[in-house]
Amino acid sequence: MSTCYRVIVLGIGEVGKTALLKRYIGEEFPLSYIHTIEDTYSTNVPYEHFMYKLDIIDTDGKGEENLTRSMYYTQGHSFIIVYDITSRESFLRVKKTYQCIRTARRMDDSMSLPVVIVANKSDLSQHRVVQMGEGEILARALKASYIETSAKYNINVDEVFTTLITEIRDQTKILVKKSKKKSSCSCM
């Protein structure tokens, strides 16, 4: 038996969202830019004696807030927010995207959510404009995980999803504990 989770992949255009996903599911790295409107990838992932089914939604990179994007924010179980290490604009968009997710879900500061921030295109380090430390600091501030990847060379791609599944599992444990506390009663 497997548990299904909807993973939403966000980021502005050309940060490598589709390339990252194609590599994860075992396809070749696309040699040209693929403009995505929306694609869904489904995969089963064995992890620590459990099977996780991931429905991964590859979103468009337009970035404007619209009804569809709000739907992604509220219906996702977890999120991968991708930026390109050679694009300051894509990095600056991460925090706004994260805040939009929390706002759409009506989350207060005490609530957490499985999120992995992905700094993609590490193979282009000679053109880097966003330093690794900046990404790590942002991830800590947002209480998210951080991973640098290269979809082109398939570096750390699997780790993104392993980390996400770990966060999903940990979040599920927290929610189960909270629901048990709420449902327990004592009689006097």
Q: What is the pLDDT of residue 68?
A: 67
> Taking CA 121 as the corner, what is the angle to CA 62 and CA 47, rounded to the nearest 5 degrees?
90
pLDDT more than 70, % of the chain = 87
Decide: residue 36, CB within 10 A, 0-12 exposed, 13-18 middle, 19+ buried: middle
6 or 187, which is more confident: 6
List, in sequence order, every residue forming a beta bridge with 57; answer none if it has no partner: 8, 40
Q: What is the pLDDT of residue 41?
A: 93
50 domain-assigned = yes
Owning domain of residue 50: 2-183
102 domain-assigned = yes
Distant-in-sequence, close-in-space partners of 124: CB < 8 Å, separation ≥ 6: 85, 86
143 domain-assigned = yes
How many angstroms from the chain centroid is the CA of residue 175? 19
Residue 186 has pLDDT above 50, yes or no: no
List, in sequence order, every residue forming a beta bridge with 58; answer none if it has no partner: 9, 39
Whichever domain contains 179, its CATH number is: 3.40.50.300
Of the candidate ranges 11-20, 93-102, 174-183, the one whose mean pLDDT is the lowest: 174-183
Say how many domains are in the chain. Answer: 1
173 domain-assigned = yes
188 domain-assigned = no
CA distance 58 to 70: 15
pLDDT more than 90, % of the chain = 64
- In this structure, which amino acid lies at residue 29? F
Average pLDDT taken over every residue of the chain: 88
Q: What is the pLDDT of residue 187?
A: 41
152 domain-assigned = yes
20 domain-assigned = yes
141 domain-assigned = yes
pLDDT digits (tens, 9 = 90+) for 74-115: 989 999 999 999 999 999 999 999 999 999 999 988 788 999
pLDDT digits (tens, 9 = 90+) for 122-166: 999 999 999 999 999 999 999 999 999 999 999 999 999 999 999
> Taking CA 37 as the corner, what is the angle to CA 33 and CA 40, rounded to the nearest 5 degrees?
100
pTM higher than the cut 0.75: yes
The tokens for 28 are: 């070749």
Q: What is the pLDDT of residue 2?
A: 67
